[in-house]
Amino acid sequence: MAAEKKWWKEGIVYQIYPRSFNDTSGNGIGDLRGIIEKLDYIKSIGVDIIWLNPIYKSPNDDNGYDISDYQNIMSEFGTMADFDELLYGMHNRGLKLIMDLVVNHSSDEHEWFQQSKSSRDNEYRDYYHWWPAEKGTPPKRWSYFDVNSDAWKYDEQTDSYYLHYFSQKQPDLKWENPKLRSEIYKMMAFWFEKGIDGFRMDVIPFISKDTSYPELPADAQPEDFVAFYANGPKLHNYLREMNDRVLSQYDVMTVGEAPGIAVDHALDFVDEDRKELNMFFHFDLMTLDRDPDELFTMNKDGWKLSEFKKIHTKWDKAFANKGWGSMFLSNHDFPRSVSRWGNDDPEFWRNSATLLQTFLLTMRGTPYFYYGDEIGMTNIRFNSIEEYRDINTINKYKQLQNQGKDFDAFIENEKDAARDNARTPMQWDESTFAGFSTTKPWISVNQNYKSGVTVKAQEDDKYSVLNYFRKMCAIRKSNEALIYGEYKLIDETNEQVYAYTRSLEDDCFLILLNFSTDSVIYTLPSDINYNAAKLIVSNDRIKDDKTYKEFLLLPYQAIVYKLL
């Protein structure tokens, strides 16, 4: 049975990292007016929903994921009037807006934290997690960005430690306090009343904590902590309460970022009857090429296509009858998709970028693209630590320095793994700084803007990555089977070709994706019944074989057929 129809199942999402999208104020940092200026472009590529990374007031320890005022705009990005104009401009063009909701933690510069740390009996004390020093050292908690990976920070003022799963400037909010929860729901309603269409919820499974702060096994690894953080005792009570008090009052979409959530818990979040969230991003794919013992070490090319298929097939199945999936290959926390899952060698770049687009646009689940994916932007691969801006890379480097460890290997790894790979300025044209800004941008521009990786260069080229993206978006939107249809994997073990069908009622599409640098003659198993195959789209030239059983696939070729 096909899923119930919803706008957020049919929409294609385009994620914008505002800092890197378009600078109109001339300070080297993208801004809201920069997005306004590009709305016609965004509309023209065929996406429907824009997800903006945080634009709230922030000291930018973690580029906006450390919020000091949830109801104001970051000064570098503009003003609330700019925001209102942006939202109006989107709605006017039929585009929806989803914002980032970052409520596992705030900035330490938020008024709540300033109050909370001022004294033990301050009325905001219980908005954060404190451990009084007279109880001794708190039980070990691991932190993502801390130089010592220590999630407790001692604060002299009240002789206590506070908890921060991320940086020291991102203290964790205490959801166990109902007053805090009410403040958050009020803030969410403020944005919904303005008319936004939903939230992407930052590390949402982390919000519930066991406030007895139990000791964890002494040999716990980062991934054990992540799993512990993501499965707090009251998580689903809070999500249901949030749904009841705010989300249910509006026609909006929600997508949680869900590190640490395994597939067998998927429906706990998105089963419609539970009234929690609509979708979430799982992390199974994002850890596929990571070293299992070292969460942050990239094992480039250390993944197999059969595993890639297995992950997507498993997650598709989880939502086959209930809930709904979300499909993504990259975002602001991971390297560029074409460099990671495709091949950014000039010989294979175009085909692999368009193959990945074909993949996301022919799978079940809402597809999420990251700005620049539509033109095939690639990893920048910085050579030295001075070029990095991300606290994650910088603090890990400092940690290695403190431990006297080898950081050359780390820098080498970061070329493939670092988040900054995906945060370089959008490449608009071939003018200085790729048309992103008139001044030196906050982070370097990828030099391949000089060789065709720009919107301008690709606009008029019929065969460009950009125009393929446009075509593919239109194909998805005009074929319901590609949205709601059943997904069936054809050949699990093939390490070069990912083949599957999508079918709904009388329509059946066959998708063939050659994930390899070889030309492959792919033979379909005989149990797939059809008389002919009508070509819908291909990212390369095609040799039609009238038997419709053997298909020649060029390196990274993607072909979609309709089976008749």
CA angle (392, 394, 396) in 5-degree steps: 65
Distance CA 364, CA 503 (A): 10
Number of other CB atoms surrounding residue 545 within 10 Å: 12
Interface with ligand GLC (CB under 6 A), residue total: 9
Q: 3-class DSSP state for residue 392?
A: helix
- Residue 4 identity: E
Q: Give the shortest CB-2-to-ligand GLC separation in angstroms.
A: 32
Cβ nearer to ligand GLC, comparing 66 with 416: 66
Residue of 76, 197, 257, 414 marked catalytic:
257
Q: Give the shortest CB-198-to-ligand GLC separation in angstroms.
A: 16
Q: Which of 66, 296, 240, 297 has the alpha carbon at shortest distance from 164? A: 66
Collect all residues with Cβ–Cβ distance below 8 Å to 396 and sequence separation of at least 6.
Answer: 296, 410
Cβ nearer to ligand GLC, comparing 358 with 379: 379
Collect all residues with Cβ–Cβ distance below 8 Å to 227 and sequence separation of at least 6.
Answer: 260
Distance CA 332, CA 368 (A): 12
109 catalytic residue (yes or no): no
Interaction pattern, residues 230-269, with ligand GLC; x per rule: CB under 6 A: ---------------------------x------------
CA angle (528, 533, 534) in 5-degree steps: 150
| Residue selected from 95, 203, 239, 537 as contacting ligand GLC according to rule CB under 6 A | 203
Q: Which of 278, 144, 309, 311 has the alpha carbon at shortest distance from 199? A: 278
Enumerate residues 354-413 that contact ligand GLC by CB under 6 A: none
Distance CA 227, CA 143 (A): 13
- 62 interacts with ligand GLC by CB under 6 A: yes
Cβ nearer to ligand GLC, comparing 204 with 453: 204
Q: Give the shortest CB-330-to-ligand GLC separation in angstroms.
A: 12
- 332 interacts with ligand GLC by CB under 6 A: yes
Cβ nearer to ligand GLC, comparing 165 with 349: 165
| Residue selected from 333, 480, 486, 540 as contacting ligand GLC according to rule CB under 6 A | 333
Residue with tokens 């994997």: 489
Strands (DSSP E) contained in 284-362 are: 290-291, 294-298, 326-328
- 23 interacts with ligand GLC by CB under 6 A: no
Cβ nearer to ligand GLC, comparing 192 with 370: 370
Residue of 202, 223, 316, 373 marked catalytic:
202
Cβ nearer to ligand GLC, comparing 61 with 316: 61
Backbone angles phi, psi at 81, to 5 degrees: -65, -40
Q: Give the shortest CB-104-to-ligand GLC separation in angstroms.
A: 7
Q: Which of 372, 479, 350 has the alpha carbon at shortest distance from 436? A: 372
Cβ nearer to ligand GLC, comparing 309 with 423: 423
Q: 3-class DSSP state for residue 51?
A: strand
Q: Give the shortest CB-54-to-ligand GLC separation in angstroms.
A: 8
Number of other CB atoms surrounding residue 194 within 10 Å: 14
Enumerate residues 78-117 that contact ligand GLC by CB under 6 A: 102
- 486 interacts with ligand GLC by CB under 6 A: no
Q: Give the shortest CB-483-to-ligand GLC separation in angstroms.
A: 26
Collect all residues with Cβ–Cβ distance below 8 Å to 132 and sequence separation of at least 6.
Answer: 120, 159, 160
Q: Give the shortest CB-129-to-ligand GLC separation in angstroms.
A: 16
> CA-based diameter of the chain, in Å?
80
Task: Locate 58 and state its tokens.
Answer: 């922030």
| Residue selected from 48, 202, 316, 373 as contacting ligand GLC according to rule CB under 6 A | 202
Distance CA 173, CA 181 (A): 9
Q: 3-class DSSP state for residue 375?
A: helix
Enumerate residues 155-184 that contact ligand GLC by CB under 6 A: 166
Cβ nearer to ligand GLC, comparing 333 with 486: 333
What is the full DSSP assignment across 104-132? Answer: SB--TTSHHHHHHHH-TT-TTGGGB-EEE
202 catalytic residue (yes or no): yes
- 65 interacts with ligand GLC by CB under 6 A: yes
Distance CA 535, CA 540 (A): 12
| Residue 133 DSSP label | G
Cβ nearer to ligand GLC, comparing 167 with 458: 167
Q: Give the shortest CB-6-to-ligand GLC separation in angstroms.
A: 24
Cβ nearer to ligand GLC, comparing 166 with 370: 166
- 551 interacts with ligand GLC by CB under 6 A: no
Residue nearest to ligand GLC (CB): 65
Distance CA 406, CA 533 (A): 55
Q: Give the shortest CB-62-to-ligand GLC separation in angstroms.
A: 5
Q: Give the shortest CB-547-to-ligand GLC separation in angstroms.
A: 48
- 283 interacts with ligand GLC by CB under 6 A: no
Q: Which of 224, 379, 223 has the alpha carbon at shortest distance from 296? A: 223
Distance CA 22, CA 38 (A): 8
Which residues are the active-site residues?
202, 257
Q: Which residues bind ligand GLC (CB under 6 A)?
A: 62, 65, 102, 166, 202-203, 257, 332-333
